[in-house]
Structure 1
Amino acid sequence: MTAMTPEAAVAHVLATNPTFAVAPTTIRGIEYTAFQNIPPTVPTLMDAGIAQHDDGNSHYLLYADERWTYGAFCAEVRRVANVLGSSFGISKGDRVAIAMRNYPELLTLVLGISATGATVVFVNAWWTTEELDYALRDSEAKLVFADGPRIERLLPLRDELGLTLVGVRDGEGMVDHSYGPLQSAASDAPLAVQIDTDDDFAVMYSSGTTGHPKGVVQTHRGAVNAVFSWLMQAVVAPLIDPPEPDAPEPPRPSALVVTPLFHVTATHPLFLLSLVAGARITLMEKWDAAEAVRLIKTEGITRFLGVPTQSADLMQAAHAANETLDTMDYLGSGGAKRPGAQVGELAQAFPNAAIATGWGMTETNALGIGMIGEEYLNRPESAGRLHPPVQELRLLDDAGNDVADGELGEITVKSPSNMRCYLNKPEATEETMQDGWLRTGDLAVMDSEGYVTILDRKKNIIIRGGENIACLDVEGALHRLPDVIEACAFSVPDDRLGEVVGACVQLKDGATLTHDQMAKALHGHIAKFKTPEHLWTQTTPLMRGATDKIDRRGLRTVCLDNEKAKA
């Protein structure tokens, strides 16, 4: 077979494979390009995947020493859907929240809730009671499935918010309802619910420039168009880089989930994609690089997608174990930019794995830009090119004009995978979504071949190990401290996590504040990962810019320079 260019390969698949046929489609009054022959909703992805999973007989899900066949997994999903209706009266249009670590029940709940026509509300498992209070008020979810630690944080809210709590795993027995007994006694008959492809699938909370996180409303069409964009890449890849004539059949895809399932990096390109890709899923109880090496080796894992910190940890653990993890054919990163120097090191450490990178957002259902293999090795600082075929990309200046190749502009994307809106935030929605185009807040340059390099963020976001942290969220918490007059949060480079939180505060005359005192005072008000790891204090006003606003960048530079001088 003669190798094709990426453009020719995409055109060939679109012309010859009806699964990936696209056409102009009007969504909420705006014309997009969208897939025409794919499953219309998230729960129908599960049904469409039966054949890819040996008619449901193949092993699909592994957690610790527990294993499910695909058929058993689907049956549990249907039982969950029936329980939601029969025991809790959940129906189309309701919202149901999930608050737990990466347990198998989280996956069955996502599909079970979706099958009723209700909307899944993903809750960050690291949030405090105060942060949970905001999200549940904002989403109006009254039914929450939660594990033990989350039950403890939710109990103070139960009566005031009128919550019904269902305990999962170590949460069973802590409240009136428990997941295990409920689902095991339910029918596994499929529900007959009419769900439109443009109905809401999920609300995922993503930190923004405001103090509270924004609820990103994703539709079924948005999620499944993202899934089939990634599935199409697997069809296009061998046309671009044909295998040798005598090459053996590639192994069944098998993914290791190492990032939280309340983020799109894990839910969409790993879990939802696995349904129609015929892939196995292995969940880790918690991130442990040595355990990840063991699982990849013993379970024949082929696909690893995590934040860059986890790639580095995995490489170090593999070196320590003298392993090259030869079953792994894909090693991707998401959630944050991988250091360019790490790309070649990973390729050397894992010679059978194609090293990949990607950029996407909660607001785009994780769909966006990416690259893999030689093109990434040759451009380690780039984010890649736009994933075809349903997306459009522009780089815009502040006035909304397209910039020339090589000039700095804001990444702006249009696709059916874009969010419907920010929940209860019409002004933020209008600012971000303009005639179908999503202004991302990320500043980048693009070369003549379409490769995008991200250089900065217009939004004041700190990305700590793939976790987005709003500076104003941190500052709001710091202002709770009685001796703090004003506060400014910013990113501090970190070799392992990429960025961590730093803060400079102005204190009242005569006051002092140590890092330990600050951390103790903030405990319970913001999640631990948001608490500043570096603290600078002063009794004079913080640095100002020309408009008398705090000069975040200038203050950050001064603080970091002072730290270097001390070292």
Structure 2
Amino acid sequence: MATPATRAEAIAALTAPGMPYALEEATALGRQVRVFANGPASLRALYEQTASELPFLVYQDERLTFREAWLAASRIGHVLVHGCGVRQGDRVAIAMRNYPEWVLAFTAITSIGAVAVAMNGHWQADELLYGLQDSGATVVLADTERLARLTQPQVRAALPQLQCLAVRTAELPPGVRALQAMTEAVGEVPMPPTHIAPDDFATILYTSGSTGHPKGVVSTHRNILAALLSWELDRAVGERVAGLEPPAVPPPQPGTLLAVPLFHVSGLHASYLSCYRMQRRMVAMHRWDAEQAAELIDRERLTSLVAPAAMTGDLVRVAQQKKYSLASLVTLGGGGAPRAPEQVRQIGASFAQALPNTGWGMTETNAIGTGVGGEDYLARPASSGRCALVLELRIVDETGESLPAGQRGELLVRGTSVFPGYWNRPEVNARSFVDGDWFRTGDVAYLDDEGFLFIVDRIKDLIIRGGENIGCGQVEAALLLHPDVHEAAVYAVPDERMGEEVGATVHGAPGLDVEALRTFLAQHLARFEIPRYIQLAPGPLPRTPSGKILKRQIQQAALAAHQGRVASV
């Protein structure tokens, strides 16, 4: 053990000039930001610098090393440039499951200076059409399921010039070419040469679009790399504060389970892109299944998993059955939505060595923002952690004035990983950024005296009952404290007298009693916060592809089922 450092001492030492994580001031797209002086200049540089012989991609019985993945991506890059006419700055879409080809295509697109458009794999034909038209993609790489939607008449008629390259498809529709045949025909070729600047666009990821059309979040190479190196710096700071030294014998290669879609930052950034510099193996699942996830962790001796609270909750329940050895797990990361404090405690108690970590981040911040893990997280299970060192946070009131520690307001963020704006949405950008470069997150939050962030709710996810503001997240956390409640969604129910009442839909163990649940909640919530309407779901609550509970859908179904009123069960 080395002598532990304070957090301030660790940050100063690790970010000093000449150090690997040295930070310096720079101008990026007109904004003053802190940048990593010694980091890769582009994603292409990241891939080239890490193309080792260590195992990288695992999918079922398929395995590729980092070097093999780079060579395979180089062939795709050659096909895109010379077979499809893709030029620097062109948008190329990916629409498929988490197959190895997703990773290889992304590597190729971002290495030739094009912009990778990560399409939501659950989108139907009209939604795919919207995304392709909005982004102006000239080429799309798609698997069988997505190809069937892309070749529907309305899509082909609207996008006659769109080039479709098929992945893992037995029968090719007219006008569609097979990616494998094209890459095999070119043989071993280098990645086409190009110059990529740090502030060139790299990706467009679409937000969930709960209202209106989804918005395309544009990120630069610098945005993404700042996020990846920020996680590394956070980890290095934590190790110095704990007094940890590099092990005398190198540990086995770490491995992570890719359990969330790559078209979300939790999959793309936290699970996939962070593997390169860590030289971490990544095992991809066809779709989420907690039992299969536990079996893969056991068999492959995986050390980490990043997933939303609903999915890590699934894994906790499997772990408690002790059917599989999950002793190799070191970290169980979160994201997408805050974990209930009770789940944080269950993670700490259910695994041999795995400690929970989580953070707050958005697609618009390239997944970083704040982070917390280990003992800090167990001590503050409701917190999302401290601010990343390349970002700044502010809490403001309705007039935009900054609020002191402990007071709740809207969370604003600015810094190196914050996206430059939404694709083709100048009017939305004008509303989303204030005071030049502060991005309005839409989250209600507060910072404590030590700089730990606590997300209270979404601004649009508050219930106002008789003038009292009730945070849905707080009520959900209380519901999840009950040992028989597995999932919970809390929402507003219109009420003539109070304006809104609290409604909840819960999924839990057989025999869950609603009145007993209300009695339990009385120990944890104020009387006005206890749901007046509780509906028991017959099965798991519906989720988005990234694992978030579809609260709006649940609320609408509950209201419709009872003609505007949720019947008390």
* TM-score category, normalised to shorter length: 0.7 to 0.9
Letter of the 1:394 partner, please give it: R
* 1:2 aligns to 2:3 (yes or no): yes
* 1:139 aligns to 2:138 (yes or no): no
1:167 match: 166
CA distance in 1, matches of 2:247, 2:179: 50
* 1:87 aligns to 2:83 (yes or no): yes
Please report how far the alpha carbon of residue 529 of structure 1 lies from its aligned counterpart in structure 2 after TM superposition.
6.3
Please report how far the alpha carbon of residue 112 of structure 1 lies from its aligned counterpart in structure 2 after TM superposition.
0.3
Deviation digits for residues 83-123 of structure 1 (CA, Å, limit 9, x no counterpart): 00111000101101111111110001111011111101111
* 1:532 aligns to 2:553 (yes or no): yes
SS in 2 for 1:411: strand
CA separation of 1:17/1:347 partners in 2, compared to 1, >3 Å: closer, same or farther? farther
Deviation digits for residues 153-205 of structure 1 (CA, Å, limit 9, x no counterpart): 11120232122211111366345201111122224213210111111101100
Q: CA RMSD for the aligned pairs? A: 2.8
2:497 match: none
Deviation digits for residues 33-79 of structure 1 (CA, Å, limit 9, x no counterpart): 111221111121111223xxxxx211111000100111111100111
SS in 2 for 1:92: coil
CA distance in 2, matches of 1:491, 1:442: 21
Asked whether the 8 Å contact 2:54–2:279 carries over to 1, the reply is no
Please report how far the alpha carbon of residue 530 of structure 1 lies from its aligned counterpart in structure 2 after TM superposition.
8.6
Please report how far the alpha carbon of residue 233 of structure 1 lies from its aligned counterpart in structure 2 after TM superposition.
2.4
Please report how far the alpha carbon of residue 321 of structure 1 lies from its aligned counterpart in structure 2 after TM superposition.
3.9
CA separation of 1:20/1:242 partners in 2, compared to 1, >3 Å: closer, same or farther? same
2:289 match: 288
* 1:12 aligns to 2:13 (yes or no): yes
Asked whether the 8 Å contact 2:151–2:173 carries over to 1, the reply is no
* 1:397 aligns to 2:397 (yes or no): yes
SS in 1 for 2:274: helix
The answer for unaligned runs of 5 or more in structure 2 is 463-471, 477-488, 492-499, 509-536, 538-548
Asked whether the 8 Å contact 1:105–1:168 carries over to 2, the reply is yes
Please report how far the alpha carbon of residue 253 of structure 1 lies from its aligned counterpart in structure 2 after TM superposition.
2.0
Asked whether the 8 Å contact 1:92–1:117 carries over to 2, the reply is yes
Deviation digits for residues 384-439 of structure 1 (CA, Å, limit 9, x no counterpart): 11122x11111111222110111112111111111111111101112112312111
Asked whether the 8 Å contact 1:445–1:452 carries over to 2, the reply is yes
Aligned pair count reads: 489
* 1:371 aligns to 2:372 (yes or no): yes
CA distance in 1, matches of 2:247, 2:194: 48
1:241 match: 242
Asked whether the 8 Å contact 1:96–1:118 carries over to 2, the reply is yes
CA separation of 1:456/1:531 partners in 2, compared to 1, >3 Å: closer, same or farther? closer
2:198 match: 197
CA distance in 2, matches of 1:6, 1:539: 54
CA separation of 1:206/1:460 partners in 2, compared to 1, >3 Å: closer, same or farther? farther
Deviation digits for residues 274-307 of structure 1 (CA, Å, limit 9, x no counterpart): 1111111110111111111111111111111011
Asked whether the 8 Å contact 2:372–2:386 carries over to 1, the reply is yes
Asked whether the 8 Å contact 1:324–1:350 carries over to 2, the reply is no
Please report how far the alpha carbon of residue 324 of structure 1 lies from its aligned counterpart in structure 2 after TM superposition.
4.8
Asked whether the 8 Å contact 1:49–1:277 carries over to 2, the reply is no
The answer for unaligned runs of 5 or more in structure 1 is 51-55, 472-487, 497-514, 516-527, 543-558
Asked whether the 8 Å contact 1:151–1:171 carries over to 2, the reply is no
Letter of the 1:164 partner, please give it: Q
CA distance in 2, matches of 1:285, 1:539: 37
Asked whether the 8 Å contact 1:42–1:224 carries over to 2, the reply is yes
Q: Percent same amino acid at aligned positions?
A: 35
CA separation of 1:374/1:495 partners in 2, compared to 1, >3 Å: closer, same or farther? farther
CA distance in 2, matches of 1:155, 1:217: 27
Asked whether the 8 Å contact 1:203–1:217 carries over to 2, the reply is yes
SS in 2 for 1:78: helix
1:184 match: 184
CA separation of 1:172/1:348 partners in 2, compared to 1, >3 Å: closer, same or farther? farther
Q: TM-score, normalised by structure 2?
A: 0.81
* 1:104 aligns to 2:100 (yes or no): yes
CA distance in 2, matches of 1:493, 1:237: 39
* 1:61 aligns to 2:82 (yes or no): no
Letter of the 2:114 partner, please give it: A
1:158 match: 156
1:437 match: 438
Letter of the 1:535 partner, please give it: A
SS in 1 for 2:169: helix
CA distance in 2, matches of 1:126, 1:20: 38
CA distance in 2, matches of 1:98, 1:92: 17
Q: TM-score, normalised by structure 1?
A: 0.81
* 1:126 aligns to 2:86 (yes or no): no
CA distance in 2, matches of 1:444, 1:272: 29
109-118 vs 10-19, greater mean Cα deviation: 10-19
CA distance in 2, matches of 1:286, 1:245: 36
Asked whether the 8 Å contact 2:298–2:325 carries over to 1, the reply is no
1:113 match: 109
Matches within 5 A, 1:426-505: 426-434=426-434, 435-459=436-460, 493-495=505-507
2:411 match: 411
SS in 2 for 1:304: strand
Deviation digits for residues 496-545 of structure 1 (CA, Å, limit 9, x no counterpart): 8xxxxxxxxxxxxxxxxxx9xxxxxxxxxxxx9698342324999x8xxx
CA separation of 1:171/1:438 partners in 2, compared to 1, >3 Å: closer, same or farther? farther
CA separation of 1:407/1:171 partners in 2, compared to 1, >3 Å: closer, same or farther? farther
CA distance in 2, matches of 1:128, 1:277: 36
CA separation of 1:368/1:77 partners in 2, compared to 1, >3 Å: closer, same or farther? same
Deviation digits for residues 187-225 of structure 1 (CA, Å, limit 9, x no counterpart): 421321011111110110003564111100111110011
SS in 2 for 1:395: strand
1:256 match: 257
CA distance in 1, matches of 2:93, 2:287: 21
Asked whether the 8 Å contact 2:81–2:192 carries over to 1, the reply is no
Letter of the 1:184 partner, please give it: E
Please report how far the alpha carbon of residue 355 of structure 1 lies from its aligned counterpart in structure 2 after TM superposition.
0.8
Matches within 5 A, 1:537-548: 537=560
Please report how far the alpha carbon of residue 17 of structure 1 lies from its aligned counterpart in structure 2 after TM superposition.
5.6
SS in 2 for 1:298: helix
Letter of the 1:147 partner, please give it: D
Please report how far the alpha carbon of residue 445 of structure 1 lies from its aligned counterpart in structure 2 after TM superposition.
1.1
CA distance in 1, matches of 2:202, 2:245: 42
Higher relative contact order (Cα pairs below 8 Å, separated by 6+ residues):
1
* 1:22 aligns to 2:45 (yes or no): no
